[in-house]
Amino acid sequence: MRVLVTGGAGFIGSAVCRQLVLEAGASVVNVDKLTYAANLASLASIEGTSCYRFEQHDICDQEAVTRLFHEWEPSAVIHLAAESHVDRSITGSAAFVSTNIVGTYTLLEAARRYYDGLSSQRRSQFRFIHVSTDEVYGSLGPVDCFREDTPYRPSSPYSASKAASDHLALAWYKTYGLPVIVSNCSNNYGPFQFPEKLIPLTVLNAIEHKPLPVYGDGSNVRDWLHVDDHAAGLIRLLFEGRAGEKYNFGGDSERSNLEVVTQICDVLDRLRPGPTARRSLISFVPDRPGHDARYAIDASKARSELGWQPTRSFEQGLADTVEWYLASGAWWARARNMVYDGARLGLPATRH
């Protein structure tokens, strides 16, 4: 199997590439624009192997994307390339519209033309996995979970752009017969995550004994899924997923943001004690505009149809993640020192 992975130098994409090559025995063509959050060092374990190739392209480049399909002749696509940080979408939505909507359209069209030219046998095996987020569903109250049939109510420019791309993907299945599968996942965490997201930002700030910002009162709840468990689910879709269907992946690990931050503090205090308890570094800052209160995933469809389930508890997965960042300063130093210094994002300019 040869899989074309878009966004394979990103956090989730690199995990998918590593598992495809090292565990699934697949050949991978990784297509990535290499924007600020991408890091080819995340792929060091498969770089140079005969089953892995990297191509630097923007998925909005129709000519380049079309050439990739005809040159590499993939048997499947896992589409992960996206702008993904809500805070950045609040102050710079144009990139999200371009990559998440226009880029997805460009990729779907190239895939459709390529698929139409395949033999009947290869058409029966081809899959286009479109990877999305639970944020398209909007905000939950204190009970219930997102299911595959939950209506979309996106709150941010990021989630709105992903909702649009989901609709495009499913329309290309219904109108053109392209065998698309859409996945929606809860918050991912684990090694190799760019340090603008909650967990790596908190870990690195806590390592350096810097303030630990928590939005609002820290009561916003997310369901946390280890990136390797998510990657395993996406690969299952290649073999067991049904075309035209949606599948939710979640970790059954709901935690408030404040709980996550305090747990990181406690893990670091145990692994690398400092002059004071790190909980004292927590500071509450103005909330993100339109901040959804709670996300939770019902992953029963993925469990029953794919035989998938998360394999890591949040406590063990978080401890392992903290240890990885402690041991991987060479990986995150460039991002921390040259790309993103940890400054607050997502507050639009005040109008006078």
Name the residues annotated as catalytic. 134-135, 158
Distance CA 150, CA 251 (A): 18
52 contacts 28 by C-beta, under 8 angstroms: yes
> Residue 329: which residues within 8 A CB-CB, separation 6 or more?
none
How many other C-beta atoms are found inside a 10 Å radius of the C-beta of residue 139? 15
Angle between helices 104-116 and 62-72 (to 10 degrees): 40
* Strand-pair category, 246-249 with 27-32: unpaired
Strand partners, 254: 223
The residue assigned the tokens 């709670």 is 294
58 contacts 100 by C-beta, under 8 angstroms: no
Query: Residue 324's Cα: distance from chain center in Å?
Result: 19
* Strand-pair category, 76-79 with 127-133: parallel
